[in-house]
Amino acid sequence: MPATDYQGSSPSFSGVGRSALSMRRDQVHSMDSPQYSPSRVLELETFQRQVADRFHDLSSVGQDDLLSLPWIRKLLDVFLCCQEDFRSVIFNSGGLVNKSPLDRLISEYFERSVKALDVCNAIRDGIEQIRQWEKQLEIVLCALDTQRSLGEGQFRRAKKALIDLAIGMLDEKESNAVLSRRNRSFGRSNAQKDHKVSGHFRSLSWSVSRTWSAARQLQAIGNNLLPPKPNEVTATNGLAVAVFIMNSVLLFVMWALVAAIPCQDRGIQLHFNLPRQYIWAVPILSLHERILDESKRRDRRNSCGLTREILQIEKCARHMNELTDSVQFPLSEEMEGDVKKRVDELRKVSEALKEGLDPLERQVREVFHTIVRCRTESLDSYGRGSHHA
């Protein structure tokens, strides 16, 4: 994700402004021993409460809005807010940040966040893949959304776009199996053609290698992620809990993105080891359970992504396929009415994708650059701390 691609904050996040913790940064930092001050305790409690409130807000949506493009954008807003508050907490930690065990805990967090950069790149690739599907929807709309009488040529064009869309939406293993069956049925020339079509949808300038696995990357991010031990909490004056919170938020957000957006090997069976006595853990675990339940629905089991708009693409394409298979010419008034109804449904899905994908991609970029920036600041801080020590 090149730095020149960065477009700045998304509109919904820029309006948030500095968090309550950020606004108090200068006041707390000016104290002689901020890690022992009442303000330190209050700041940590505020951080936990804000994380809990934000995820309660995310979990309050109905099932129809869960994993929609607007909801995913809101999830990324939450991550950015939590990251900024976490940055403020660490900035105000004084000399503790360069002492054991806090230095190790923070270093482990940034190692996990670096692994999340690959997930961000893979998600951007998935967004681009959805754009290719949207182009196929546009072909169908151009063919059938017309005031003129519809003929066989227009339906053939729409049917071809629907077939290309179906191939593009298959997971790679399923796609290979379907293409193999079609190759045996239609001969060598079609085999070459189908290979080109499949390659087009699965080779969209991927930012990660073809051997990269989203499931393995999530496991790497979550590896050895455990609640802090009592002696770690005591030694860090509670800051170990803040690091654990941010680790958990990072893991959940990356996991939700992989569940929602198409990417390579997107297995989502991941365990979250979050004690429920943490007030912020309850809404995260609730969302985790709801998303897993969504993945087990009959109409979602073989889906390449759980985003609501992907389900709408699948449903509209299936209805339109059934319609094009049953059409007879000349079209009756009833059939023309059915075509118009399906075209209207398809247009709404296409418009939702056009409105939602660009802002989502900008936010993914912002998450990427925020992680890089915080990592760089951390390395600079450690360098200064080691130099003075």
Integer CA distances (angstroms), 214 to 51, 65, 254, in order? 26, 24, 10
Cis peptide before 11 (omega within 30 of 0): no
Higher-scoring residue by pLDDT: 264, 220: 220
- Average pLDDT (303-311) is 93
- The reported pLDDT for the residue numbered 183 is 36
- Average pLDDT (168-195) is 46
Going by pLDDT thresholds of 50, 70 and 90, the confidence category of residue 274 is very high
Going by the DSSP 8-state scheme, the letter that residue 63 receives in this structure is T
What is the distance between the terminal CA atoms of the chain, rounded to a whole angstrom? 36
- The reported pLDDT for the residue numbered 98 is 83
- Average pLDDT (108-134) is 95
Q: Which pTM value belongs to this model?
A: 0.82
Q: Of 62, 77, 82, which Cα lies nearest the Cα of 21?
A: 82
Instruction: Please state, in angstroms and rounded to a whole number, the distance separating the CA atoms of residues 318 and 183.
Output: 22
Going by pLDDT thresholds of 50, 70 and 90, the confidence category of residue 379 is confident
- The reported pLDDT for the residue numbered 311 is 94
Q: Is the pLDDT of residue 153 over 70?
A: yes
Residues 155, 342: contact at Cβ < 8 Å? no
Structure tokens, 80:
């950015």
- Average pLDDT (342-357) is 95
Q: Is the pLDDT of residue 186 over 50?
A: no
CB contact set of 284 (below 8 Å; sequence gap of 6+)? 55, 248, 249, 252, 272, 274
**Residues 196-251 pLDDT 10s:** 444 443 433 457 888 899 999 999 999 999 999 999 999 999 999 999 999 999 99
Q: Of 258, 256, 254, which Cα lies nearest the Cα of 368?
A: 254
Q: Is the pLDDT of residue 180 over 80?
A: no
